Amino acid sequence: MIRVLSVASECTPLVKTGGLADVVGALPAALAGVGVRMRVLLPGYPAVMAALEGARRVLRLDDLFGGPATVVEGRAAGLDLVAIDAPHLYARPGNPYLGPDGRDWPDNPERFAALSWVGAMIGARGLDGWRPHVLHGHDWQAGLMTEYLPGLGGGPRTVLTIHNIAFNGPADPARIGALRLDPWRFHAEGYEFWGAVSALKAGLMGADALTTVSPTYAEELMTPQFGMGLDGVMRHRRHALTGILNGIDEDAWNPAADPAIIPYRDPAGKAAARAALRAEMGLPEAPGPLSVVISRMTHQKGLDLLLEVLDDLTAMGGQLAVLGSGDPGLEQAFRDAARAPGVAVRIGYDEGLSHRMIAGGDAILVPSRFEPCGLTQLYGLRYGTVPVVALTGGLADTVINASPAALARGVATGIQFAPVTAGALRGALARLGGLYADRETWSRLQRNAMAQPVGWAASARAYRDLYAQLTGPG
């Protein structure tokens, strides 16, 4: 049995801002069936501490980046958890990264350095008799583990997964001492990035293996267009990099048993779910497809492009239902758009509504400028909600475009478009309308989508094989 400590800043269902949490929450169960025992180390946010069952203290730290802390272990949501109970760092309301003003907490570098420090300490010294074979960190919040391990006596092999390279965890070099970093490592082969400390750069340079969440994104990261200034680092470490597709929790997202929706077992059940969604969102009957968007509202997600083509969508008899939050300008733009017939918008996060939208939508739109993997298109496939996606990252890896050849062979599962422009998206929506009007072809497309593997089985084996390769025989 390979023992792994997964170190992350969020985890479904305890705390979530994006797809990172879904992956961290799903991996332990997925890996349990292939010979991997995974524990998850999380910051002790209020929601995490409240959820812990049978919590017991296993370590006390007198000074963890500005105050005392206790490391506790227990169970929550079916997971084996280790939590850092450090009220001076984590006992804050709301979003784990942002204050009430919507800005990053000023001490985020120390807050997540503490996460990396405790992860490295457990890797180097064990925890109450348990010691991992592999430390598996996620994104910049766990990136400093490889910097701390040598000073703590060394430790196990390390993996860093890049969920989104756009966030690199910068800090002013004046904080090097406060972050307990070796000042002699502040250079291009260490954690220096354009004159700043970068927690992600540290992990990219120091981890034994790097993974990202789709094969195409792994290739994209080595290009200036997608590498966010770190493309040279990624090319330097290309032999350590593997793209492993994310999966979804097929029990949580199960159209045959989802308690959040009117159950259905095949595309014929779409009618009831669609009618219920229209009623809930205040949309009338319409002849065209009901498209849904469930997304953070950011430039990355390409939702500004969707605003440009809304008139084209509604002109063909289509409708749009949107759930999301993020950039205030985009939020307001979608509120304004909802004044038009055929468009409904809910600003915020609502897990139950997201299930009902995936179930009731005919198509799910994902016009991202870049997308490491993406999960909403996988939910769409599972529910026969046809994905319309940009040709990038994991979207390219998970959707089979409805080209004439793919349609003729009966293998298409969705619609891809490129380049990521309003004009190309407009063309994709026109294709959507044409396919929807051909009921036989549309039904086949839905059934193909629902038959597409979207779970964790293959990816869990890939992670297990990577861990085994790192740890060697025995």
Indicate the burial class of 287 (C-beta count within 10 angstroms; 0-12, 13-18, 19 or more).
Answer: exposed
By the 8 A CB rule, do 199 and 120 touch? no
Contacts of residue 315, Cβ cutoff 8 Å, sequence gap at least 6:
none
Q: Binding residue per annotation — 301?
A: no
- Residue 361, beta-bridge partner list: none
Contacts of residue 307, Cβ cutoff 8 Å, sequence gap at least 6:
333, 334, 337
Q: Which residues are annotated as a binding site for ADP-alpha-D-glucose?
A: 16
Q: Which residues are annotated as a binding site?
A: 16
